[in-house]
Amino acid sequence: MIIHQEFRDLGRPNLGIAAWAVPSLVRYGTREQQERFLPGTFAGEIVWCQLFSEPGAGSDLAGLTTRAVRVEGGWSLTGQKIWTSLAQYAHWGICLARTSPDRPKHDGITYFLVDMASPGVTVRPLKDINGDELFNEVFLDDVFVPDDLVVGAVDEGWRVARDTLSHERVALGDSWGPGARHTDMARHLARLPSLREAQRERAGRLWAEGQAISALGLRVTLSQLAGADPGPASSVRKLLGMWHAQEIAEFCWSLDPSDRYWSRMILTTRAFTIGGGTTEVQLNIIAERALHLPRDP
């Protein structure tokens, strides 16, 4: 965390999906998996994607139906994933599949590392509202995954997935790309002529909110360093960060509607309250796990 803060003004490689996959490999992966994947990931030689969401199980992730069947030396995976960021460029994917369909839906799930060049993997890009092709459909047709690419215990992948999701929510709450943070707003304001009083007041409020949300992210990190489960704090961080990113984009665009960069960011941040768990799902997690309200039937 200290290194991250000290390097904040330097241009560094963006690890993308690996930023929340790597901590799970550190916590649950074998020594061999860590030695095989971590150096290349940190060097930017390995790009990752996340094979979690499915057409019938997006934010209700535990409802996934992708099957993993035991075969000689490993597992055969069959199913469909969707909204998979950067799948068309990824070398490896972190993948959830059901290994024991007769068990309750949060049990019987296993966490796999999938070689995206494997026979049976098909990637089809999807066009976003801003014209990009960030997301993809991914089809798995009898894709072989050897036993040594299972992370954690078989049938206990939900625990590993929750760890990954907590890192994802903190990262996405901090904006999953450039251009939607209070620091980006400050750089934008520095290039503009003087602001009206109401605009200065809104900029000050957004800056203060950004600082507070960053502090929430630090709290989650410190909790994990102390050995605690991040719990619902990562959902709070994600929820507030997404709304904040949208407000930043809208405010910066309102100051200069001719700025194509910020008009593009308004479109880009529309997806922020969906990706990484929808706003509704985050509110459920906060209600049930932080406020101890009755579970949603």
Read off the pLDDT of residues 104-156 as tens digits, 9 standing for 90 and up: 888 999 999 999 999 999 999 999 888 888 899 999 999 999 999 999 999 99
* pLDDT reported for residue 144: 98
Residue matched to tokens 């055969």: 76
The alpha carbons of the chain give a radius of gyration, in whole angstroms, of 20
- Please choose, from the candidates 177, 92, 82, 78, the residue with its C-alpha nearest in 3D space to the C-alpha of residue 136: 82
Which regions of the chain carry the CATH code 1.20.140.10? 174-290
Average pLDDT, the chain: 89
Indicate the class that CATH gives domain 174-290: mainly alpha
- pTM listed for this prediction: 0.74
Q: How many CA within 13 A on the CB side of residue 24?
A: 27
* pLDDT reported for residue 176: 46
Fold topology of 2-153: Butyryl-CoA Dehydrogenase, subunit A; domain 2 (2.40.110)
- Please choose, from the candidates 173, 297, 296, the residue with its C-alpha nearest in 3D space to the C-alpha of residue 245: 173
Integer Cα distance of 208 and 200 in angstroms? 12
Which regions of the chain carry the CATH code 2.40.110.10? 2-153
Residue 71 has pLDDT above 50, yes or no: yes
Residue 175 has pLDDT above 80, yes or no: no
- Sort residue 247 into left (φ over 0), alpha (ψ -120 to 50) or beta: alpha
Our answer to whether residue 168 is catalytic in this structure is yes
Integer Cα distance of 17 and 40 in angstroms? 14
Q: Which is the catalytic residue, given 72, 168, 209, 280?
A: 168
Is the CB of residue 209 less than 8 Å from the CB of residue 248? no
Average pLDDT of span 250-259: 94
Integer Cα distance of 254 and 256 in angstroms? 5
